[in-house]
Amino acid sequence: MSIHGKDKDMIKVGIIGATGYAGGELVRILSGHKDAEIRWYGSRSYIDQKYADVYRNMFQIVDAVCMDDNMEELSSQVDVIFTATPQGLCASLVNEEILSKTKIIDLSADFRLKDVKVYEEWYKIGHKAPQFIDEAVYGLCEINRDDVRKARLVANPGCYTTCSILTAYPLAKEGLIDMSTLIIDAKSGTSGAGRGAKVQNLFCEVNENIKAYGVATHRHTPEIEEQLGYAAGEKVTLNFTPHLVPMNRGILATEYAKLTEDVSWEEVKAVYDKYYGNEKFVRVLDKDVCPETKWVEGSNYVDIGFKIDPRTGRIILMGAIDNLVKGAAGQAVQNMNLMFGLEESEGLELVPVFP
């Protein structure tokens, strides 16, 4: 338990994967949440070690030790479980008995895709719990808010997908772009690759470098296609190319598409305002202002901008998020707030950090 001594009316939270980057961000955000208390810091890699010895920023804030990933036992102790784990783990642990006792917010891809064959093709693993795929709600709050409120299993979207989908969603929904022409070029900070040791993520590999990866094969591609397909009312096939850049946090997605009609900046802005005008965490920027990752760092905001290119008949869409907050842990807490009938922004009033 935290030294804050929150009372018994709090939402009791368990985290499996609490020592990964997304898990650590969950702990940071929930430590300031007035209605939630973390009861279980699950980490298979650091069992019985003090959490604050793994993340020293939690010294004298968290006095708990890391525990295992026993979801069966955990489900009897908490109201909600966050699984910030590699693909396949949540699906291998979840069952009907667990879901009858607690809610689950899965930060992996196990329940994001509705077609199990697509999941198995892109993730190269068999799905261990296909019986829950139809029930799982895709937790992009700005689009599926009402369904999230009623859910017991939420598939928290990926970081690239959150940025890519929200940036294009209003125009896809209104038929303003030709979906067959959509190309998404995205850049991410290295925390998006996780905390595990990998040669390609060493300082000397990443510093003073930018590189494309997962070209035409990145696992977030079918997730983006599926969700924008729902918006457009048609099957969507697109090019998505991610790049790794030498910074800790942030995603910038730049998207290109052919316009289906001749529209002005003001008309496109009105479409964005129709969908996002009342959204706390989506900020549509002023004319000729482009999103930058530095202005969303440490926050749950999505900054969106766009530029019409009359010479080519195309529109260039741009979105920026913090991949660990709105792209992972912040969105997960936003989902939790909806699931428990709380103010959606509770614990997420995080002003972007600068410099």
Concatenate the DSSP letters of all residues of 209-221 into one string. --EE-STTT-TTH
Residue whose pair of structure tokens reads 């642990």 in the numeric block: 93
Name, in order, each residue with C-beta under 8 angstroms of 252's C-beta and a sequence gap of 6 or more: 163, 186, 187, 291, 292, 293, 318, 319, 320
Distance of CA 226 to the CA centre of its chain: 16
Query: Is 90 annotated as catalytic?
Result: no
Record the tokens describing residue 320, joined without a space. 């920026």
DSSP state of 157: P
What does the CA dihedral 81, 296, 32, 100 come to, rounded to 10 degrees? -20
Catalytic-labelled residue, pool 159, 163, 204, 290: 159
Record the tokens describing residue 181, joined without a space. 């022409």
Question: From the CA atom positions of the chain, what is the Rg in Å?
Answer: 20
Q: How far apart are CA 60 and CA 270, in angstroms?
A: 48
* Residue 270 three-state SS: helix
Q: How far apart are CA 287 and CA 266, in angstroms?
A: 9
Active site residues: 159
